[in-house]
Amino acid sequence: MTATNPTGADVRPTHRAGPDRLPLLVGSSAILFSVVYIVSDLIELATGGFGPVQLGLTYAAEAALPLFVIGLYAVQRPRIGALGLAGAIGYAYSYIAFTATVVYSLVEHTRDWVTLIGRLGPWFTAHGVIMVVAGIGFGLAVLRAGVFPRWTGYALMAGVCLVAATTELPDLVRVLSATVRAAAFIGMGVAALRLPGPAPAPNVRHP
């Protein structure tokens, strides 16, 4: 049986035309490119320096990061608030700048991290400060919003601090620090994929 409304229209329950694609796109991207970042770091660790493949993977991960960080903010709206927006924008900006250093390394055939820091140290310092402040802000906003698991916010805050603190330490320590941060984004990506979609909307059909 079908119900009719007072105007005589035939009302039938129906599902949405398609899934909510934003959490799917954002969650998948956060997971994929965070894993790519880890793989890039492991290749650098194994080879003892930069290489075309490793830098290509780093470029892909860092170029995608600003987009999925803004997306992670978007899927937590409105609960994440203004702090989340400021943190996401600041973090995204810092990685736009870091992506430029990957291009520099490819063009100048920079052989390793020590050489790159020697040439662009002040650039990294300035944008590293932005990354840390923005990462802490975004992590706090994630905690307050309560949309994603709390551990992801704590992991992001710890990760950005560790990355900044280990900049001049051996490669293995730097990779472990970056993995903590990547794990935070992977966790957020998984949580985004698990977000419930909007409720089905009614479909109104006229006789």
Domain boundaries, the chain: 22-193
Closest CA to 32 of 54, 56, 6, 64: 64
For 129, residues 6+ apart whose C-beta sits below 8 A from its C-beta are 164
Residue 81 confidence (pLDDT): 93
Instruction: Identify the helix (H) or strand (E) that includes residue 11.
Output: strand 10-13
Closest CA to 161 of 138, 137, 182, 177: 177
Residue 123 confidence (pLDDT): 79
Residue 197 confidence (pLDDT): 63
Cβ(101)–Cβ(124) below 8 Å: yes
Closest CA to 182 of 25, 32, 23: 32
Residue 109 confidence (pLDDT): 87
Q: What is the pLDDT along the chain (207 residues), one digit of tens a residue?
A: 444 444 444 444 433 433 478 999 999 999 999 999 999 999 998 988 888 999 999 999 999 999 999 999 999 999 999 999 999 999 999 999 988 888 988 888 888 888 888 888 787 888 889 999 999 999 999 999 999 999 999 999 999 999 999 988 888 999 999 999 999 999 999 999 998 765 444 554 544
Sheet with 202-205: list strands edge to edge: 3-4, 10-13, 202-205
Residue 66 confidence (pLDDT): 93
Cβ(156)–Cβ(114) below 8 Å: no
- Residue 174: CA atoms inside 13 Å, Cβ hemisphere, count? 17
pTM: predicted TM-score of the whole model, two decimal places: 0.82
Amino acid code (one letter) for 203: N
Amino acid code (one letter) for 94: S
* CB-based burial label for 152 (10 Å; 0-12, 13-18, 19+): buried
